[in-house]
Chains A and B, each alone.
Chain A
Amino acid sequence: MKNLLIYTLTALSFFLFSFTKGGYETAMENAITEMNQAKDLENLKSVANKFERIGATESKKWLPSYYQAYCFIMMTTRESDVTKWDGFLDRADALLDQSQKIKKANMVEILTLKGFSAMMRISVDPSVRGQEYSMKSAGFLQQAYQLDNKNPRANLMMAQMLFGTAQFFGSSTDEACQKLKDTKNLFEKEEEEGSGILPVWGKPQAEKMLNKCSATSTQDN
């Protein structure tokens, strides 16, 4: 009888807890899961809306607008008409500006995402935008890297840029590939430590890039 009482009390307090404090976390977790499973533009829009709803209530949290921005950047990968990309990226940049004003915001993650956004802008019109936006992108990433050179996403973006540049000049991608290997280790370490609702995206991208590396190195041999 007593055990049952304790059990029920625990269950009840758990219920109470999730209702008061945990609501934000649960909502974020659900949205992040949905984001990771998003297949098309509509899915991403709907998740972005979810983050917007959470963000509208939790104005002192940086993550909702951060994730909303990430969704908008990812929309470019699901939209074949490049003339629409600027609209998504404008929104993403505005959200990131908003996010970085919030106290305790993780500047490394935000700067990395800003670098990512600038990188996507290049693809809209590479010959015209290449110079300007590669510089912008490099600037954001370098700032992020200076703040935390162990952040897997900042490392991934840097490696991606090194890889692209090396490919353009037909020079060796060894440096970029070494960086990707280090990046993969950083991702694995992050996974072990677990990070709740904090950003973890990027590992599959790193693995995909590493495959490209091994493909080129076998060609060389």
Chain B
Amino acid sequence: MKAIQQLKLTVQWFLSSRNILVAIIFMSLLSTHILAQTKITGTITGQSGEILIGANVFIKGTYDGASTDVNGEYDFETFSTGEVIIVATYIGYEETTKKITLKSTNNNIDFLLKESINKMEAVVISAGTFEGGTGTKSEVLKPLDIVTTAGATADIAGALNTLPGTQTVGEEGRLFVRGGDGSETKTFIDGLQVLKPYSTTIPNTPTRGRFSPFLFSGTSFSTGGYSAEYGQALSSALILNTKEKPSQTRTDLSLMTVGAELSHTQSWAKSSLAVQGAYYNMAPYNSVVPQSVDWVKPSETVQANLAARQQIGNGGMLKVYGNISSNNFSLYQYNVLYPSAKTLVKIKNDYVYGNASLKNTLGDSWAYKTGVSFTQNKDDIQLENESIIETTKGVHLKSVFSGDLTNNISLSTGGELLYSESEQAYNSFSDGAENIFSFQNPLLSAFVESDIYFSNNLLARVGGRVEYTSLNSNFYVAPRVSLAYKTGENAQIALAGGSFQQAATEDLLRVNNSLDFEKADHLILNYQVVNPKQTFRIEGYLKRYRDLVKFDFNQPLNPLTYTNTGEAFAKGIDLFWRDNKSIKNMDYWISYSFLDTERDYRDFPTIAVPTFASSHNLSIVSKYWVNSLKTQFGGTFSYASPRTYNNPNTNQFNGELTPSYIDLSLSASYLATQSIIIYGSVTNVLGRENIFGYTYSELPNNQGEYIGQANQLPAPRFIFVGVFITFSKDATLNQLKSL
């Protein structure tokens, strides 16, 4: 500005003087006098002395500056004088400024830049967690892996069951993690708890998750030591994040041997709406593939899904999701002792789940998430002379604030209200008996957790949660700590420990309303090497359970026999290797888990190995893409060592062992055209008759012997064929992206 004013004065003087020659002489002087340049030179280095090539140095408020050369040196000239601010920037380093007064001669200004914490590159909390779809380095299983894993039949739990730390419990379909039973794994969608995430089935038929893997863009499966943000889970947290706003308008049609799905997604500039309707009926399949179950009416399900997204302001997002389904089936159940005596069982399940969540930023470095979820589940079981109606309702309210306190410390804190109620109404038509068991559990909790980066190589996460329930008016405190240290560019070692708790399961709480929480302490040591296309992990853990619920086997409905005196332990080693590099077009992973566990809980007369635990679990999953056939072939091999079962004819509780479990499943997905995919899969190709245990008659026969019946799947194999078609204005889209 000074220079401009002087120029203006010069012009005025020039106009009045009319002496052009003088003016021209003056003009030539002007450039040397007023516009004299000052030289600035220097060197830019990193904290540990490394030369930074191509770093940017400039004077704030001007365009004057330069990049450093191969020696990390720079020089430039400026018209600026007096006090200036000099800025130095470089990718991966913190911006540094220096206030100096320029000397008219040479100015030498050196910079020492500090490495900035880059959360993509920095060490991450890895102990206990398998990330998927997060895009971070710790990602292990991608969303599409769920759908293309042979044997998983496009079920989230099915695919996660090929990861270490899980037990193959072939007749269940739920996730059994590190010696924990199925109820110890909790499911969260967008941070909000889902009650009853699995569909209702009959014994020995594996259940399926209610939620399609296509809904989610990210999956985080924790087998222990998880964040203080997640409560009411003893063993494991399955954290599913729904997709962000889709950008394309499209219609998808799926025709499958088990039913059909039709969905439409409409996308606008700032919002989107997706609706899906589905109908599944097992009758045609069951009529072709023989089943050992005597179906009267095979399972029939009607389902509707809705997902809406609205962008709010800059970076904010409102998500609404809803799922309604209704399922019914009926069959004859046979008495183990008198095979000719059969009972008609009719089951109808109605399910509603909805959630709404809002996330937005608060200023530059803080963000909040707030949401509410609602679950209602009703199982209506009609036997010939009895009726059992079970209703579960739950509401979850949650708000989380997170942000950076400093460059190296971030904080996350929040509060939750979790309300659940459950009722079982039993009616006997033969003797008119009526029983109602119920409970309400309002639970308040708060958590705080902080990530502290000591450097790019060392991270500590410290936090805890406090919970209060009016069931027994108790406060619970659960501290959690994790440490991770980067030992090499792609390798790190991590340690996690903490206290975890959950309310007793609803069947127990319905009998005794004031049961204490069950608790578990986890200690996990993890080492992993994550290269771009290869992952290796080894994890060892110790788990100790306290305050497990026990009751008298002979008086299961007497609340007075219920105590929190059970205990258990689990210890083991999990190994994981994934390789997408060694063989072209081939991606495979190998998981091995060793588990040693015993527990004394529920109606156990003594401490024993539970029936769902097996010492050795092995999964080998492979996927091979054949370009000329436009087909991906998949194969999954699973092995689980023998499991225990209880034979009432012997004295030892859970003293017998089943044969080991072996399954080989194959699948193929063929991209017929850009918009049509044909998918087929077969489980248990070898046709092995896997036995999961034995069910014994309630009473002994005339010889005083209990009669056992092997627990097996209704059919040894499951065959699935589907055609997936996408209609879209944009020809480049197909379900390949999701498949």
Q: A residues within 8 Å of B by Cβ?
A: 4-5, 8, 12, 16, 19-20, 23, 27, 42, 45-46, 49-50, 52-54, 56-57, 83, 86-87, 90-91, 101, 124-125, 127-128, 131-132, 134-135, 138-140, 142-143, 146, 161-162, 165, 169, 171, 175
- Whether the Cβ atoms of B733 and A138 lie closer than 8 Å is yes
**Which of these, A5, A49, A169, contacts B671 with CB under 8 Å?**
A169
**A8-B23, A52-B89, A54-B63 known; A86-B247 Cβ under 8 A:** no
- Whether the Cβ atoms of B738 and A12 lie closer than 8 Å is no
**Which of these, A20, A87, A124, A140, contacts B91 with CB under 8 Å?**
A87
Shortest CB distance A112–B (Å): 14
Chain B interface residue number, banded? 35 or more
- Can you name the residue of chain A whose Cβ is closest to the Cβ of B55? A49
- Whether the Cβ atoms of A143 and B247 lie closer than 8 Å is yes
**Which of these, A42, A146, A165, contacts B674 with CB under 8 Å?**
A165
- Whether the Cβ atoms of B737 and A134 lie closer than 8 Å is yes
- Whether the Cβ atoms of A128 and B580 lie closer than 8 Å is yes
Shortest CB distance A192–B (Å): 30
A-B contact pairs, 15 of them (CB 8 A): A8-B23, A45-B53, A49-B54, A49-B66, A50-B65, A52-B56, A52-B58, A53-B63, A53-B64, A127-B587, A132-B143, A138-B247, A138-B248, A138-B733, A169-B674
- Can you name the residue of chain B whose Cβ is closest to the Cβ of A49? B56
**Which of these, B63, B248, B673, contacts A27 with CB under 8 Å?**
B63
Which residues from B are CB-within-8-Å of A8?
A: 14, 20, 23
- Whether the Cβ atoms of A175 and B731 lie closer than 8 Å is yes
Which residues from B are CB-within-8-Å of A57?
A: 60-63
- Whether the Cβ atoms of A46 and B630 lie closer than 8 Å is no
Q: Which 8 A-B pairs have the closest CB atoms?
A: A139-B247, A45-B54, A49-B56, A46-B67, A53-B58, A49-B67, A165-B732, A53-B65
Instruction: Determine the main DSSP class of A at the interface with B.
Output: helix
Alpha-carbon gap, A49 to B66, bound state (A):
8
- Whether the Cβ atoms of B730 and A131 lie closer than 8 Å is no
**Which of these, A5, A42, A138, contacts B54 with CB under 8 Å?**
A42
- Can you name the residue of chain B whose Cβ is closest to the Cβ of A87? B91
Alpha-carbon gap, A45 to B580, bound state (A):
33
Interface flags, B49-80, vs A, CB<8A=1, else 0: 00001111010111111110000000000000
Q: B residues within 8 Å of A by Cβ?
A: 3-4, 7, 11, 14, 20, 23, 53-56, 58, 60-67, 87, 89, 91-92, 120, 133, 135, 142-144, 217, 246-248, 269, 314, 532-533, 580, 585, 587, 625, 630, 671, 673-674, 730-733, 736-738
Alpha-carbon gap, A169 to B269, bound state (A):
30
Alpha-carbon gap, A132 to B53, bound state (A):
34
- Whether the Cβ atoms of A143 and B4 lie closer than 8 Å is no
Which residues from B are CB-within-8-Å of A165?
A: 674, 731-732
Which residues from A are CB-within-8-Å of B314?
A: 101
Which residues from B are CB-within-8-Å of A132?
A: 133, 135, 142-143, 217, 737
- Whether the Cβ atoms of B60 and A56 lie closer than 8 Å is yes
Shortest CB distance B420–A (Å): 35
Alpha-carbon gap, A19 to B67, bound state (A):
24
Which residues from B are CB-within-8-Å of A12?
A: 11, 14
Alpha-carbon gap, A20 to B585, bound state (A):
59
- Whether the Cβ atoms of B56 and A131 lie closer than 8 Å is no
Shortest CB distance B359–A (Å): 16
- Whether the Cβ atoms of B732 and A139 lie closer than 8 Å is no
- Can you name the residue of chain B whose Cβ is closest to the Cβ of A162? B732
Which residues from B are CB-within-8-Å of A19?
A: 3-4, 7
Which residues from B are CB-within-8-Å of A175?
A: 731
- Whether the Cβ atoms of B269 and A143 lie closer than 8 Å is yes
- Whether the Cβ atoms of B532 and A125 lie closer than 8 Å is yes
Alpha-carbon gap, A175 to B7, bound state (A):
60
Shortest CB distance B321–A (Å): 19
Alpha-carbon gap, A107 to B513, bound state (A):
59
Shortest CB distance B364–A (Å): 12
Which residues from B are CB-within-8-Å of A101?
A: 314
- Whether the Cβ atoms of B731 and A45 lie closer than 8 Å is no
Which residues from B are CB-within-8-Å of A135?
A: 247-248, 737
- Whether the Cβ atoms of A128 and B142 lie closer than 8 Å is yes
Alpha-carbon gap, A27 to B63, bound state (A):
8
A-B contact count (CB 8 A): 112
- Whether the Cβ atoms of A86 and B120 lie closer than 8 Å is yes
- Can you name the residue of chain B whose Cβ is closest to the Cβ of A19? B4
Alpha-carbon gap, A19 to B269, bound state (A):
41
- Whether the Cβ atoms of B53 and A42 lie closer than 8 Å is yes
**A49-B56, A138-B732 known; A169-B587 Cβ under 8 A:** no
**Which of these, B14, B87, B738, contacts A131 with CB under 8 Å?**
B738
Which residues from A are CB-within-8-Å of B14?
A: 8, 12
- Can you name the residue of chain B whose Cβ is closest to the Cβ of A72? B91
Alpha-carbon gap, A49 to B87, bound state (A):
12
**Beyond known contacts A49-B54, A135-B247: 15 more, CB 8 A cutoff:** A20-B4, A45-B53, A45-B67, A46-B54, A50-B63, A52-B58, A53-B62, A131-B736, A132-B142, A134-B737, A135-B248, A138-B733, A142-B248, A142-B730, A143-B269
Which residues from B are CB-within-8-Å of A4?
A: 20
- Whether the Cβ atoms of A83 and B532 lie closer than 8 Å is yes
The residue among B60, B64, B247, B737 with the most chain A CB atoms within 10 A of its own CB is B247
Shortest CB distance B610–A (Å): 37
Shortest CB distance B67–A (Å): 4
- Can you name the residue of chain B whose Cβ is closest to the Cβ of A46? B67
- Can you name the residue of chain A whose Cβ is closest to the Cβ of B18? A5
Shortest CB distance B674–A (Å): 6
- Whether the Cβ atoms of A91 and B91 lie closer than 8 Å is yes
Alpha-carbon gap, A132 to B133, bound state (A):
9
- Whether the Cβ atoms of A49 and B269 lie closer than 8 Å is no
- Can you name the residue of chain A whose Cβ is closest to the Cβ of B23? A8
Which residues from B are CB-within-8-Å of A46?
A: 54, 67
Which residues from A are CB-within-8-Å of B66?
A: 49
- Whether the Cβ atoms of B120 and A90 lie closer than 8 Å is yes
Shortest CB distance A93–B (Å): 11
**Which of these, A134, A138, A169, contacts B673 with CB under 8 Å?**
A169
**A16-B4, A23-B63, A138-B247 known; A169-B630 Cβ under 8 A:** yes
Shortest CB distance B85–A (Å): 10
Alpha-carbon gap, A60 to B612, bound state (A):
64
- Can you name the residue of chain A whose Cβ is closest to the Cβ of B61? A57
Which residues from A are CB-within-8-Å of B730?
A: 138, 142
Which residues from A are CB-within-8-Å of B64?
A: 53
- Whether the Cβ atoms of A16 and B7 lie closer than 8 Å is yes
Which residues from B are CB-within-8-Å of A87?
A: 91-92
**Which of these, B3, B23, B87, B217, contacts A56 with CB under 8 Å?**
B87
Shortest CB distance B339–A (Å): 51
- Whether the Cβ atoms of A49 and B674 lie closer than 8 Å is no
**A27-B63, A165-B732 known; A5-B20 Cβ under 8 A:** yes
Which residues from B are CB-within-8-Å of A56?
A: 58, 60-61, 87
- Whether the Cβ atoms of A140 and B67 lie closer than 8 Å is no
Which residues from A are CB-within-8-Å of B580?
A: 127-128
Which residues from A are CB-within-8-Å of B135?
A: 132
Shortest CB distance A191–B (Å): 28
- Can you name the residue of chain A whose Cβ is closest to the Cβ of B627? A168
Shortest CB distance A120–B (Å): 15
Alpha-carbon gap, A143 to B248, bound state (A):
9
- Whether the Cβ atoms of B247 and A142 lie closer than 8 Å is yes
Which residues from A are CB-within-8-Å of B4?
A: 16, 19-20
Which residues from A are CB-within-8-Å of B63?
A: 23, 27, 50, 53-54, 57
- Can you name the residue of chain B whose Cβ is closest to the Cβ of A23? B63
Which residues from B are CB-within-8-Å of A83?
A: 532
Which residues from A are CB-within-8-Å of B733?
A: 138
Shortest CB distance B695–A (Å): 44
Shortest CB distance A66–B (Å): 17
- Can you name the residue of chain B whose Cβ is closest to the Cβ of A31? B63
Alpha-carbon gap, A152 to B625, bound state (A):
35
- Can you name the residue of chain A whose Cβ is closest to the Cβ of B1? A20
Which residues from B are CB-within-8-Å of A161?
A: 732
Which residues from A are CB-within-8-Å of B738?
A: 131
Alpha-carbon gap, A101 to B314, bound state (A):
8
- Can you name the residue of chain B whose Cβ is closest to the Cβ of A111? B247
